[in-house]
């Protein structure tokens, strides 16, 4: 669309079939080999279909898989950081050329894949390259280790994007596709849009970086991830309630939009920061916020590793502009939010903020203070915590 950033690879992909084609697929599905998708694979299939993973038109073949692991590029030369694989057990692997029916975790037929390639899932290549660790305690590593040893690569045809419209992560009225967000931005007259990724409720440090980024862009897309996350993360419906009360009272409606991203977390730190940025490029965003320990977990990654990795990439091919923010917190002396660039930090002055700390306070029955998060957000979180 004129005025907005182009999709990654130049064309916004759409792999959703027409209603007539969908009925044909349903009629033939019972006679096709069956693949039961994991939650992560179901999320990936939706993002392939809606264009969030442009230029991918299906699950990766072997050459793309190896190129992404080794070089952070597709064989086309386009930047790409995370393998998008359909791994199955060797016993359930189809033959090359077969069409297979793919079923979401709730048993709904989600789409079909034509198996152009069937190859070994080289986990010893994927894990250390993508996650920078082989520790089986890392949640992303653990997921890959659980996956099948055979990968099926090929184009997909998808019947429906949201396979569980009654589920808590559905948010059908907020589940905009990249084509729909692009239309929304054009309607609002935005040409530069900064995206904010989160898997946590928005606390004061998040708010600070979002507001800073808004000063240089026409609009802000708050784009919380609502796909599969690890145990212990605050549920998506609670996070959305917290975001809604915050945006209602503290953000300008003419320059702020909220929609959800149906992606699964990998917790891959630096590589996932690139992955998150490329998805937002496809959704029409020109800028992307990269803060402290983006997409990290535990102490597997350095504080700013997710920012440094952008310096290793072909910036022209990446397309979207990363906005790198320092660690920020509430200064008691200053009386507001500051970063290491905006105010000198002294011992004992800064109230440090993190999603992890919020979760710990809630688990202990403590309401996060105003220096941590807005009172309206704290009330939503406390209501949820008390119900557990």
Catalytic-residue membership of 292: no
Report whether 378 contacts 368 (CB < 8 A): yes
Integer Cα distance of 163 and 208 in angstroms: 36
3-state helix, strand and coil shares in percent for the chain, rounded to the nearest 5? 35, 20, 45
Catalytic-residue membership of 200: yes
Report whether 32 contacts 97 (CB < 8 A): no
Between β-strands 256-258 and 219-224, what pairing exists: parallel, antiparallel or unpaired?
Answer: parallel
Look at residues 271, 299, 265 and name the one whose alpha carbon lies nearest to residue 129. Answer: 271
- The catalytic residue among 182, 199, 239, 292 is 199
Question: What are 34's strand-pairing partners?
Answer: 101
Report whether 63 contacts 75 (CB < 8 A): yes
- The catalytic residue among 50, 129, 200, 282 is 200
Report whether 186 contacts 224 (CB < 8 A): no
Map tokens 């905009």 to a residue.
Answer: 176
241 Cβ partners below 8 Å, 6+ apart? 380
Integer Cα distance of 136 and 164 in angstroms: 30
As annotated, the active-site residues are 199-200
């Amino acid at each position: 669309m004129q005025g907005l950033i182009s999709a990654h690879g130049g064309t916004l992909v759409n792999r959703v079939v027409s209603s007539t084609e969908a009925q044909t697929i349903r009629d033939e599905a019972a006679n096709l080999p069956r693949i039961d998708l994991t939650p992560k694979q179901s999320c990936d299939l939706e993002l392939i279909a809606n264009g969030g993973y442009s230029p991918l038109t299906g699950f990766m073949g072997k050459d793309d898989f190896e190129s992404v692991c080794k070089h952070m590029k597709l064989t086309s030369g386009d930047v790409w950081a995370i393998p998008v694989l359909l791994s199955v057990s060797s016993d359930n692997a189809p033959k090359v050329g077969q069409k297979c029916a793919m079923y979401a975790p709730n048993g709904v037929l989600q789409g079909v894949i034509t198996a152009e390639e069937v190859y070994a899932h080289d986990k010893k290549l994927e894990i250390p390259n993508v996650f920078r660790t082989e520790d089986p305690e890392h949640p992303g590593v653990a997921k890959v280790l659980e996956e099948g040893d055979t990968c099926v690569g090929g184009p997909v045809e998808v019947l429906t994007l949201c396979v569980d419209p009654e589920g808590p992560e559905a948010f059908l009225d907020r589940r905009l596709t990249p084509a729909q967000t692009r239309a929304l931005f054009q309607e609002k007259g935005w040409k530069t849009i900064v995206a904010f990724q989160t898997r946590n409720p928005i606390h004061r440090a998040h708010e600070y970086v979002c507001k800073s980024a808004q000063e240089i862009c026409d609009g802000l897309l708050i784009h919380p991830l609502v796909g599969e996350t690890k145990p212990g993360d605050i549920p998506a419906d609670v996070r959305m309630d917290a975001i809604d009360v915050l945006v209602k009272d503290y953000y300008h409606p003419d320059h702020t939009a909220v929609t959800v991203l149906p992606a699964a977390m990998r917790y891959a730190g630096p590589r996932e920061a690139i992955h998150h940025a490329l998805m937002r490029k496809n959704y029409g965003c020109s800028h992307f916020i990269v803060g402290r320990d983006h997409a990290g977990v535990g102490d597997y990654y350095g504080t700013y590793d997710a920012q440094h990795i952008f310096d290793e990439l072909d910036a022209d091919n990446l397309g979207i502009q990363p906005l790198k923010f320092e660690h920020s917190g509430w200064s008691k002396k200053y009386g507001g939010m500051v970063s290491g660039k905006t105010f000198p930090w002294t011992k004992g002055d800064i109230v440090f903020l993190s999603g992890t700390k919020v979760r710990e306070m809630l688990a202990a029955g403590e309401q996060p203070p105003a220096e941590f998060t807005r009172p309206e957000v704290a009330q939503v979180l406390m209501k949820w915590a008390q119900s557990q």
